[in-house]
Amino acid sequence: MPESEQIDSLQAREKILATASRLFSEQGYENTSLAQVARQAKVSKALIFWHFDSKEKLYRSALRKTLEPYFIDVDGLEGLGEREQIERLIDLFYDFVHENVDSVRFFLNLTLQVDRQQDEVLGRVQELYRVFRKSLAEIFESGRRHGVFRDGTQPEREAGLIMAALAGLLIQHFRSDGSPDDARDLIEHLKTTLFQRLLVPAVGSTPAGRP
């Protein structure tokens, strides 16, 4: 069996997958027909079935492909102070969303669909969400122990609030009139107020209203 055939096969398969991922992300599952995928990938409908058996299986494969860039890069955090780590994670989240608007929108859509709630891929996204939140909480905890953050700092709650704010900015970003500037601005405001509240003040000055 000559290798060129194998390669061609892979190329067609990949082309279908790439096209399907894009269309599913942009239009959703129901609004994307296999005829459309076939047309844009420049293959026949039958070939899609030969490679993926059914629309549902193509969908799952496409989801997996879309999910590839979804991971948390914690390498850049080493050696940073707790405050900087928090800021870095917030920025990472923000940047990632802006680099993957379509697929983020898509996964957010999935999250809102009752019948897709058990999807394994959706489960992975939600796990990322949990990991991200847990990382934040751990950094707050570590910062509290190291005397960077106040004694009264509640790691879980602070992490939860940050995640909520980030998720909310996401929605604002998808509203047609939500300007990116507004989001950037609120991210900065979030960071400022967060650290105003939690940072242990430099020795010599007394924080207002808090012993």
Partner DNA sequence: GTCTATATACAGATAGAC
Partner DNA sequence: GTCTATCTGTATATAGAC
Q: Give residues in contact with DNA (CB under 7 A).
A: 5-6, 8-9, 11-13, 32-36, 42-47, 49-51, 53-56
Position among 75, 151, 208, 211 found at the interface with its own copies (CB under 8 A): 208
Sign of CA dihedral 106, 107, 111, 117: positive
Cβ nearer to DNA, comparing 42 with 116: 42
Q: Give least dist CB 113 to its own copies, A.
A: 7
Write the DSSP assignment of 31-98 as a string of letters.
Answer: T--HHHHHHHHTS-HHHHHHHHSSHHHHHHHHHHHHHTT-----GGGTT--HHHHHHHHHHHHHHHHH
Buried b (16+ CB within 10 A) or exposed e, 150-182: beebbbeebbeebbebbeebbeebeeeeeeeee
139 CB contacts (<8 Å, ≥6 apart)?
82, 85, 86, 89
Tell me the per-residue interface mask from 34 to 73 with its own copies, x by CB under 8 A, - otherwise.
Answer: ----------------------------------------
| By the rule CB under 8 A, 112 interacts with its own copies | yes
- What's the CA gap between 167 and 132, in Å, rounded? 12
- What's the CA gap between 54 and 46, in Å, rounded? 10
Give the footprint of its own copies on residues 6-35 (CB under 8 A): 26-28, 30-31
Q: Which does 77 bind (CB under 5 to 8 A by kind): DNA, its own copies, none?
A: none
Cβ nearer to its own copies, comparing 47 with 199: 199
Cβ nearer to its own copies, comparing 17 with 194: 194
Q: Give least dist CB 101 to its own copies, A.
A: 10
Q: Max alpha carbon distance in the chain (Å)?
A: 79
- Contact residues for its own copies, defined by CB under 8 A: 26-28, 30-31, 105, 108-109, 111-115, 117-118, 126, 129, 154, 157, 160-161, 163-172, 174-177, 182, 185-186, 189-190, 193, 196-197, 199, 201, 208-210
